[in-house]
A and B are shown apart, each in its own frame.
Chain A
């Protein structure tokens, strides 16, 4: 897998974008950015820019897909044609269809689906700019959008990727590390509920490495989870502040 001549660490042990191995990229999350959607979120994780809109629960269309005892989730992950350096065809690719399913399955365990029988929840994920780790950033943003829509959930879902480059474990891979590294392991966790909802691995990892990866991931997820919480509360706490000031 390793290509000659490409170094992912400099002499000081820092990564291509100046981060330490266990450091995540700068993150910014905003909730309720779209007026027409029931819930929405925007995330910037390094160079990734992702917008998520949630509609519903609403009437299931087409009707035959409705489940008599629970809500169904329809998830659509799509990358904008301008999200990568070569133009991406706007047609849904094999990868996008697969990611839609993977993200849906990572979100489903967090939602109280049986509270909304015969309905449907739409999750639209639009990647505006991609630079490695879009699936994990999408999951993080989508759970914020679902909570912003007022949907009953067990917990938020927070995700991060852990990978391997030059034999070292690294957290939150960027595009280069994803392409030239030796492995990529996206992990999604419900931080309070303490359950894993997504675990994929590409590359070769030893059992010890996987354990270490989980430890690194849960550290990063703690930081991301705080950002998620802040984003959701921000809008309402601003109103409280404003009201207190006028009095």
Chain B
């Protein structure tokens, strides 16, 4: 019962990956007649030690999941709620009760003073079950409105690459460039730094990670890339 795909191979929908039950298989796959096929245009990761095969998509829309941190944009102010675009097929809803911890009485005009159309928020998905639109909260710490910084949009499937193994990639960016980075599961990344030039390098680095997400040895290449850019920056000033 062989495995047909190689590690890090790019597969198209319907491509045969394996015919085996000795591996644990997860991700975007489907089974037919005991054979395992890919569902998407993606990359196969095979871990021989853990006996695990994963198929990760290269593109695709964000599907909300309970507990995800997302970065949204307010697109409508309602009577008791805000409608938020979270870069997904489903529009999210932020209720007034999920903004204040105490019961409050406010009118519609006041609602737009707190969050207005076009505001960017960091929020958490509290519930989603496909039958109703996802609900958001900003009551917890580190959630809420983003007042400065740069937003980068990447395919949501590449978010794990930006984070790296146990946060190695994002921590490297943070330390090397002295910036704060918030990553939304929906593929939006906020970069906040004191130095605009360094902010820009961080954005370029994220774009590089996105483009080369399916290759190996990425962390080292990104490190070299940032060092080079920082040197250029040093020469200029």
Residue of A nearest to B217 (CB): A247
Q: Encode B153-166 as 1/0 by CB contact (under 8 A) with A.
A: 00101000000000
- Chain B facing A: main interface SS: loop
Tell me whether A229 is interfacial, beta carbon within 8 Å. yes
CB-CB under 8 A for A243 and B13, given A56-B89, A59-B91: no
What residues of chain B lie closer than 8 Å to A117, measured between beta carbons? 130-131
State the 10 A-B residue pairs at the shortest beta-carbon distance, nearest first.
A155-B14, A150-B60, A150-B59, A153-B13, A192-B14, A119-B89, A152-B39, A57-B89, A243-B215, A117-B130
Restricting to A178-199, which residues have a CB under 8 Å from any CB of B?
190-193
Residue of B nearest to A192 (CB): B14
Instruction: Add 9 more A-B contacts to A56-B89, A68-B131 (CB < 8 A).
Output: A117-B131, A118-B90, A150-B157, A153-B13, A153-B14, A154-B14, A155-B13, A236-B58, A243-B217
Q: A156 near B14 (CB under 8 angstroms)? A: yes
Tell me whether B82 is interfacial, beta carbon within 8 Å. no
Tell me whether A228 is interfacial, beta carbon within 8 Å. yes
Q: B39 near A153 (CB under 8 angstroms)? A: yes
Tell me whether A82 is interfacial, beta carbon within 8 Å. no
How many Å lie between the Cα of A84 and that of B217 in the bound state? 51
What residues of chain A lie closer than 8 Å to B13, measured between beta carbons? 110, 147, 152-156
Restricting to A137-171, which residues have a CB under 8 Å from any CB of B?
147-156
Contact-size category for B: 20 to 34
B residues near A, CB below 8 A? Answer: 10, 12-16, 28, 30, 32, 37, 39-41, 57-61, 63, 89-91, 130-131, 155, 157, 211-212, 214-215, 217, 221
Tell me whether A112 is interfacial, beta carbon within 8 Å. yes
What residues of chain A lie closer than 8 Å to B39, measured between beta carbons? 112, 152-154
How many Å lie between the Cα of A59 and that of B89 in the bound state? 5
Q: A243 near B221 (CB under 8 angstroms)? A: yes
Tell me whether A239 is interfacial, beta carbon within 8 Å. yes
How many Å lie between the Cα of A11 and that of B54 in the bound state? 56
Q: How far is the CB of B29 from chain A (nearest CB, A)?
A: 10
How many Å lie between the Cα of A243 and that of B215 in the bound state? 8
Tell me whether A124 is interfacial, beta carbon within 8 Å. no
What residues of chain A lie closer than 8 Å to B40, measured between beta carbons? 147, 150-153
Tell me whether A232 is interfacial, beta carbon within 8 Å. yes
How many Å lie between the Cα of A148 and that of B90 in the bound state? 21
Tell me whether A233 is interfacial, beta carbon within 8 Å. yes
What residues of chain B lie closer than 8 Å to A228, measured between beta carbons? 12
What residues of chain B lie closer than 8 Å to A236, measured between beta carbons? 10, 58, 214
Restricting to A102-151, which residues have a CB under 8 Å from any CB of B?
110, 112, 116-119, 147-151
CB-CB under 8 A for A190 and B14, given A59-B89, A119-B89, A147-B40: yes
8 residue pairs bridging A and B, Cβ less than 8 Å apart:
A57-B61, A148-B59, A149-B59, A150-B59, A150-B157, A192-B14, A239-B212, A243-B212
| Candidate in A110, A148, A150, A240 with the most chain B CB atoms within 10 angstroms | A150
User: Which of A58, A59, A156 is the one whose CB lies under 8 Å from B12?
Assistant: A156
| Candidate in A147, A154, A190 with the most chain B CB atoms within 10 angstroms | A147
Residue of B nearest to A232 (CB): B12
Q: A240 near B61 (CB under 8 angstroms)? A: no
Tell me whether A211 is interfacial, beta carbon within 8 Å. no
Q: How far is the CB of B85 from chain A (nearest CB, A)?
A: 10
What residues of chain A lie closer than 8 Å to B16, measured between beta carbons? 192
User: Which of A152, A229, A240 is the one whose CB lies under 8 Å from B215?
Assistant: A240
How many Å lie between the Cα of A243 and that of B61 in the bound state? 27
Q: A239 near B215 (CB under 8 angstroms)? A: yes
How many Å lie between the Cα of A213 and that of B39 in the bound state? 29
| Candidate in B13, B16, B60, B157 with the most chain A CB atoms within 10 angstroms | B13
